[in-house]
């Protein structure tokens, strides 16, 4: 019962599972939050450590409150919060419906704020904690979907404000900003032929000539929630194989 506890939202997805697996390997007990599939994902991870799945909608405050309360009742603490849940419905500014904009911000930006809010009492009680939110390189250079890009830029602002408020409690707050990941979350957005072409162009845009993988993001998260990063707060760590940079001018 002395092992640290982590919450990973969006825990049933490929990136959430990669993060949870890495934290379990590092000795954490992990609660996977997701609107669906959390219990099944946790069952698949029990061989590597102690995991539970909790049905939760991060855009709904009552759902967040109940889910965090379950973790408190089960394990009595939260040492690391990983805000990984996200959506990216396709749209343009010209054709955007207000509901699409609002739903994206509700999950991608309001969700992390609600998760932080409801974990604060435990951090105050136990004397510290860690927050890592999964952003995106698009916060810096823009992307193809306005609401998604705005939400990820807003997440950086939320992080920099939260680190000031929560620092006196011993809480660090950071962002890990990946580039394109070849996961089901992204594969479903386009036809296979277009996606293959896009993947190739993306790898070519990297100074390293390769794509980022979920384990790369998971390793960055694991570092930021560890004691090795105890004096890192308010930062954005790009895990983007260099694609967060503007193209080199030859």
First to last CA, the chain: 57
Closest among 218, 179, 173 to 80, alpha carbons compared: 173
Q: CA dist 39 to 20, 137, 217, Å? A: 13, 30, 23
Q: Does the annotation count 148 as an active-site position? A: yes
From 139, 148, 180, 202, active-site residue? 148
Closest among 84, 73, 66 to 7, alpha carbons compared: 84
Nearest-Å Rg of the Cα atoms of the chain is 18
- What is the dihedral angle through the alpha carbons of 182, 184, 186, 187, rounded to the nearest 10 degrees? 80
Closest among 161, 147, 35 to 97, alpha carbons compared: 147
Give backbone dihedrals phi and psi of 193, rounded to 5 degrees, phi first: -65, -45
Residues annotated as catalytic are: 148
């Amino acid at each position: 019962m002395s092992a640290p506890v982590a919450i990973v939202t969006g825990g049933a997805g490929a990136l959430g599972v990669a993060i949870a697996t890495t934290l379990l390997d590092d000795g954490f007990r992990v609660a996977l939050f997701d609107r669906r599939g959390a219990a099944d994902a946790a069952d698949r991870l029990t061989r590597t450590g102690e995991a539970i799945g909790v049905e939760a909608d991060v855009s709904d405050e009552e759902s967040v409150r109940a889910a965090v309360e379950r973790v408190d009742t089960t394990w009595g603490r939260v040492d690391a919060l990983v805000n990984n849940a996200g959506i990216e419905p396709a749209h343009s500014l010209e054709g955007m419906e207000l509901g699409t904009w609002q739903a994206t911000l509700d999950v991608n930006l309001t969700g992390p704020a609600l998760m932080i809010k409801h974990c604060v009492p435990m951090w105050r009680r136990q004397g510290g904690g860690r927050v890592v939110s999964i952003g995106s390189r698009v916060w810096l250079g823009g992307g193809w979907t306005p609401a998604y890009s705005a939400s990820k830029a807003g997440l950086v602002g939320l992080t920099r404000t939260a680190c000031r408020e929560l620092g006196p409690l011993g809480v660090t707050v950071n962002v890990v900003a990946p580039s394109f990941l070849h996961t089901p979350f992204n594969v479903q957005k386009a036809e296979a032929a277009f996606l293959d072409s896009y993947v190739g162009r993306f790898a070519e845009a990297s100074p390293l000539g390769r794509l980022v993988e979920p384990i790369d993001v998971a390793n960055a998260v694991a570092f930021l929630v560890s004691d090795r990063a105890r004096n890192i707060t308010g930062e954005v760590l790009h895990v983007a194989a260099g694609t967060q940079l503007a193209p080199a001018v030859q």
